[in-house]
Amino acid sequence: MYQQRLDTDKFSWDFLNARLHLSPPRQSTAHSAICCLGRKPPPRRDRATKKSCVAMPRIETEVRLDFKDVLIRPKRSTLKSRSQVDVQREIRFLNSKRTWSGVPVIAANMDTVGTFEMAVELAKLEFITCVHKHYTPQDWATFAAKHPDVLPTVAVSGGSSAADVEKITAILKSHPDIRFICLDVANGYSEVFVQAVRNVRSAFPEHTIIAGNVVTGEMVEELLLSGADIIKVGIGPGSVCTTRKQTGVGYPQLSAVLECADAAHGLNGHVISDGGCTCPGDVAKAFGAGADFVMLGGMLAGHDESGGDKIEMNGKLFKKFYGMSSSEAMKKHNGGVAEYRASEGKSVTVPYRGPVSGTCKEILGGVRSTCTYVGASKLKEISKRTTFIRVSQQLNEVFGRAPNEQEEQVSKKQKTG
């Protein structure tokens, strides 16, 4: 039988009769009395389906996947060595019309990751750093005077508030060599945020705007059409993010990247996979899913350049790492957690890992190796060469998690030091 969802305010009984061969239901005396009193009658029920015409919650039954749920299927390759893989990209952005070339890995705009010190080191590898928003214009002036060559590889960050936009404007006017703006809010679905993107685009037509975070295709399209160039994808996957626990809102990261990349590329826009990466293999999966850039937080925490003091516990060194919506971050920057909100992040201590350059080289080595497994001579080709397979287990952990090379080197130094 033909069924169609009906708009109870506008449906035509002639149409309904033609489709379902029904007559208009007679109103009961009680129903007529309610209408006469001007009160809203109870929702009608469709006689054929016995369902209320009021909108009800919906369950999407298609399974969404995360990085841990898949592996990449190997394919025939003509590459002889990892050294043959080109991990650089050249990208022309949708709205700024600028062309950028470099390695599409980005340090997250967290104050224990996106520091000026991190920007200096990552610029040597042609990475991008989204510098956290808590530096003052004077801090920026000092940094720019010391490292003017690093400015093209950094983004100045802020939210959608008038104060943040005013601060971004002041920094960009003083330092025109900065090419990237990162507009970052927890909920990129807000109309206020969309309007902020439009306003910043109007004020800075030639700057490349990063905007987020969102996880669905329709919002990617709206932000791109509102003036953004690159959309940050990810709600809740980060290692120190508790949004999913606190709100119940989120989207598995691999599926989010697949959906959002498809939407963005249809408009010649670009996406960043932001959050959820725990190892170089996850970074490769994000690129394989269609991400143009991968943003890292936890994987870059704990280094010399990550900000914060070293903490010694039981003879080992650690550094503090926390989410930017955690109570610790809000106490540090806002004087505490506002009464109307809850913390959506946590604070942890991570093992001290030495210089960040070693970790970055390990990440790039893993991505190059992935490319050789699927026959991609350039990073740009990896999404075209990637086939994901669902798995029930990825690793054999009979002897526990193996430390990465960087952690082993630091551990040896601490023992001998």
Nearest C-alpha neighbor of 104 from the set 284, 278, 251 = 284
* pLDDT value of residue 240: 82
Q: Are residues 40 and 136 in the same domain?
A: no
Question: In this predicted structure, what is the pLDDT of residue 358?
Answer: 97
Binding residues: 81-82, 133, 184-186, 234-236, 238, 241, 244, 274-276, 297-298, 323-325, 340-345, 369-372
Rounded-to-integer distance, Cα 309 and Cα 88, Å: 33
Report how many domains make up the chain. Answer: 2
Per-residue pLDDT tens digits for 225-235: 999 999 999 99
Residue 197, in any domain of the structure: yes
- The answer to whether residues 171 and 26 belong to one domain is no
**18 pLDDT above the threshold of 50:** no
Q: List, in sequence order, every residue forming a beta bridge with 180; answer none if it has no partner.
A: 155, 208
Query: Do 187 and 79 share a structural domain?
Result: yes
- Would you say residue 262 has pLDDT above 50? yes
Same domain, 81 and 52: no
Q: What percent of the chain has pLDDT over 90?
A: 68
Q: Examine the domain organization and report whether 47 and 167 are in the same domain.
A: no
Contact between residue 184 and residue 161 where contact means Cβ atoms under 8 Å apart: no
C-alpha distances in angstroms, 239 versus 13, 60, 292?
54, 26, 21
Considering the domain architecture, whether residues 122 and 36 belong to the same structural domain is answered as no
Question: Which pLDDT value is given to residue 242?
Answer: 82
Out of 67-76, 318-327, 332-341, give the one with best mean pLDDT: 67-76
| pLDDT at site 307 | 82
CB 196 within 8 A of CB 189: no
Residues 110, 48 share a domain: no
Give the CA distances from residue 266 to residues 34, 198, 223, in Å, rounded to whole numbers and listed in that order.
Answer: 51, 20, 13
Q: Is residue 103 part of a domain?
A: yes
Whether residue 179 is predicted with pLDDT greater than 50 in this model: the reply is yes
- Residues 256, 294, single domain; the answer is yes
Tell me how far CA of residue 373 lies from CA of 66, 223, 278, in angstroms: 21, 35, 20
Same domain, yes or no, for 116 and 50? no
Residue of 22 and 6 predicted with greater confidence: 22
Pair 271, 304 in one domain: yes
Q: Which of 241, 260, 277, 360 is catalytic?
A: 241
Is pLDDT at 313 greater than 70 in this prediction?
yes
Last residue of a domain, one of 58, 81, 104: 58
- Residue 242 annotated among the catalytic residues of the structure: no
pLDDT at site 19: 41
Feature table: binding site for NADP(+): 81-82, 133, 184-186, 235-236, 324, 340-341, 369-372
Which of 115, 208, 243, 386 is an active site residue?
Answer: 243
Confidence of residue 324 (pLDDT cuts 50, 70, 90): low
> Does residue 314 sit within a domain?
yes
Region 150-174: mean pLDDT is 97
Domain that holds residue 190: 67-337+346-394+404-411
417 found inside a domain: no
Q: Tell me, what's the pLDDT at 339?
A: 60
For 97, other C-beta atoms within 10 Å of its C-beta total 11
Token pair 């996406």: residue: 271
- 371: domain CATH number is 3.20.20.70
* 267/175 same-domain check: yes
Residue 4 has what pLDDT? 40
Q: For residue 318, list its beta bridge partners.
A: 311, 351
Q: Which residues are annotated as a binding site for GMP?
A: 274-276, 297-298, 323-325, 341-345
Instruction: Tell me which DSSP letter residue 109 carries.
Output: S
pLDDT for 264 beyond 60: yes
| pLDDT value at residue 403 | 64
What's the confidence (pLDDT) of residue 54? 74
The reply to whether 74 and 192 lie within a common domain is yes
The stretch 365-386 carries a mean pLDDT of: 98
Q: What is the pLDDT of residue 52?
A: 55
Tell me how far apart the alpha carbons of residues 300 and 296 are, in angstroms, rounded to a whole number: 6
C-alpha closest to that of 84 among 360, 376, 386, 361? 376
Q: 26-81, pLDDT tens digit by residue?
A: 454 444 443 444 555 555 555 555 555 677 899 999 999 999 999 999 999 999 99
pLDDT at 3: 41
pLDDT band of residue 414 (cuts 50, 70, 90) is: low
Evaluate whether residue 133 is within a structural domain: yes
Please report which confidence band the pLDDT of residue 409 belongs to, taking 50, 70 and 90 as the band edges: low
Exposed, middle or buried, 105 (CB in 10 Å: 0-12/13-18/19+)? buried
* pLDDT at res. 321: 77
Binding residues for K(+): 236, 238, 241, 244
Which pLDDT tens digit goes with each residue over 346-358? 678 889 999 999 9
At 330 the pLDDT is 57
Average pLDDT, the chain: 86
Q: How far apart are the first and last CA of the chain?
A: 78
CA-to-CA distance for 53 and 354, rounded, in angstroms?
A: 61
Domain boundary among 58, 81, 100: 58
Amino acid residing at 105: V
The reply to whether 26 falls in a domain is yes
In a domain? residue 121: yes
